Structure 1
């Protein structure tokens, strides 16, 4: 056996192929693992002021990055970006959204947007700080 470093894209393709083969052997009704990316940006007068990225797999939206320029915080831009990402994910059939955030970042912001904490890693990266795992139901008729 020889363990080497491999280009990320190539490694992801090989790992995905093995996982697909395993899924088909376990349950042929499991749909293919197909990732669709959504990347949204907000500009004002040609200047980038915020953005959000996520991807969707198996009707789950995974929010990866959300940031707003400090001069535009507190005016609803983060909420608008997140709502637009969720809207586009709903249109593509997503039923739930998930994300992670650190205790010093935005857990309260996400909770105000309807996300619920379902997991926590304490003392990460330092004592007294935490990494939170949050989720939100995106099904029609669920609270926003």
Structure 2
């Protein structure tokens, strides 16, 4: 057996194929695993000021990245980006959104947007910090 590095797109395709084979054997009523990528960007005067990315699979939105330029923080841009990706996910049939954030990032921001913490890893990436897992019904 050989374990090698493989480009992420090819590896993901192969892993998905194996998971689909397993799904067919386990329960044929489970829908296929199909991922739809979402990527939104905000510009002001031709300058990038924020963005959000995520993917949708099995009616769940997974928010991957969200960031706003420091000069635009507190303006509602982050909330608008999050609301827009959630709206697009709803149009794709999503019932739930999930994401992770670190203690020094934005757990309170996400809670203001209706997310609730359902798990955490303390002392990550080092002592005194926490990784939070959040979810929201859409």
Match of residue 121 from structure 2? 121
Runs of 4+ aligned structure 1 residues displaced above 6 Å come to: none
- Residue-pair matches, total: 138
Which runs of no fewer than 5 residues in structure 2 stay unpaired? none
How many angstroms apart in 1 are the aligned matches of 2:69 and 2:24? 44
Aligned alpha-carbon RMSD (Å): 0.6
Q: Deviations over 1:57-100 (max 9, x none)?
A: 00000000000000000010000000011011111100000000
Match of residue 63 from structure 1? 63
How many angstroms apart in 1 are the aligned matches of 2:107 and 2:64? 14
Match of residue 30 from structure 1? 30
Which runs of no fewer than 5 residues in structure 1 stay unpaired? 139-144
How many angstroms apart in 2 are the aligned matches of 1:126 and 1:16? 33
**Shift of the alpha carbon at 1:5?**
1.6
SS in 1 for 2:33: coil
Match of residue 137 from structure 1? 137
How many angstroms apart in 2 are the aligned matches of 1:10 and 1:91? 28
Match of residue 142 from structure 1? none
TM-score by length of 1: 0.94
